[in-house]
Structure 1
Amino acid sequence: MRLLAFVFALAFASGAEARGPQGPLPISKARAQLLSQGWSPLETFGTDADGVRWSLQGDAGSMYRHGFIEVEICSGTGLNFCSFNYVRGGKCVSLQTQGEFKAGAYEPHVVRRTTTCPDPDDLHPPTKAKP
């Protein structure tokens, strides 16, 4: 359900678009700009009901394995929206992207930038229940 809400929120929400002179920025360029301004990648640990981390599935998993530890989730269908989180001084920036990822070939472009922080419950690895 949360994934469906994520997809609809991205499709219909308004927000500041991160653009360069040639249009929307690829996530790697937008990320480099944020890092140069003192923002840090914010890793999240949200999981599906079966305990699998969102950031390790599909395109999110591919981007995570290529160093984008701040990727929270990707829709995996349609326009393939993804969410990336950054923090600086207790404030958050979230970038939403559109498009697929293939290392060295193509990457998603930023279509929205907000000051939304991730759910606090997703900021720490889940604790395992003791038997």
Structure 2
Amino acid sequence: MTKCLRRLAALLAPVLLAAPAIAQGPAATTMASGGVGLRSEVAALRIVAAQRLPRSPVGERPDFCRHLFATARTPAGGQVIAAGWAVTREAAFGPYQAVSFVRGAEPGTSGTCRMLDGNVAIFRGTDLVAIVYAPGGGDAIGSVSAFGGDALRIWSGDFLGQPVADLQVGADGGIAVRPLAAEERVCGGRAVVPNVYGRPINEARAILQRSGWTPVPPQARDGNDSRVSDLVRRGVPEVEDCSGTGFGFCAYSYGGAAGTLSVTTVGDNDFPAVAGYSVRCRLG
């Protein structure tokens, strides 16, 4: 266990002793101050009540990775900075303010960085309510982002960050860490993008088509990339380009009634796996 995790465990020890239901398993519901229910349905993550932040141990924060750190713009984020952590994202959801933070980072290939010993602090105003953490530490948590208009998505801190869970608020104000949603509503609810993370592109494209996204082959391509040619030959003509180094990223384009969808895969398999996507919504 790292020094960071020992400090976090020491901070949370009184909470764990006061709430033995946590020992029943990750899906047990515990209570924070004010009667706020806390629940994790994701085995790799825990959410526990907390009233103060642990001090961060000194961590490496190379300039190469500075673009991953955020300037604190809320009082909650200021508390995280004051405790010595590096803020990666601030995001409001329901009546709460979430702040994701890490001890530090280390540089990797292809302009990537690995964020270390990440957590998510949840505040109500300036009062800390709970902390989401990974018992195994490492790069399990990196940042959060808005998701679906009323939830947050928790991302890993790995060199190639991937979504690991969703953070949602119930009607009663309870906070739950849940498995990734089956789909994301985008463009004001006019379209949905199914969860295709980690799926080979040949499977992902079929799922996307069932949700109304049509492959859009490019009118022209630069160069004569053999990986692009192979994917076209294997029935994926919407591939636009592939990187010949690093993670082996490839880009694909799809069109729908609400806008355009860009998909990125990673790896050098015959059908590489989906690593991310973005949507550009059509106006009107």
TM-score (norm 2): 0.30
| Unaligned segments of structure 2, at least 5 residues | 1-109, 114-144, 146-160, 164-193
Cα shift at 1:16: 7.8
Larger Rg: 2
Q: Which residue of 1 aligns with 2:279?
A: 115
- On the 8 A contact 1:59/1:101 being kept in 2, the answer is no
SS at match of 1:33: helix
Larger relative contact order (CA 8 Å, sep ≥ 6): 1
Q: How many residues align?
A: 96
Gaps of 5+ in 1: 1-6, 118-131
Structure in which a larger fraction of residues adopt helix: 1
- Answer whether contact 2:201 2:272 (CA < 8 A) is retained: yes
| TM-aligned CA deviation for residue 90 of structure 1 | 5.5
Moved over 6 A (4+): none
Shift of 1:88: 1.0
Structure 2 match to 1:74: 242
- Which one has the bigger strand percentage? 2
Identity over aligned residues, as a percent? 32
Per the alignment, residue 4 of structure 1 pairs with none
Q: 1:91 to 1:99 in 2, by over 3 A?
A: same
Q: CA RMSD in A?
A: 3.0
Aligned-partner SS, 1:86 = strand
SS of corresponding position for 2:209: helix
Kept after mapping to 2: 8 A contact 1:43/1:69? yes
Corresponding residue SS for 1:24 = coil
Q: Work out the CA distance in 1 between the residues paired with 2:280 and 2:268.
A: 23
Q: What is aligned with 2:214?
A: 40
Is 1:91 equivalent to 2:259 in the alignment? Answer: yes
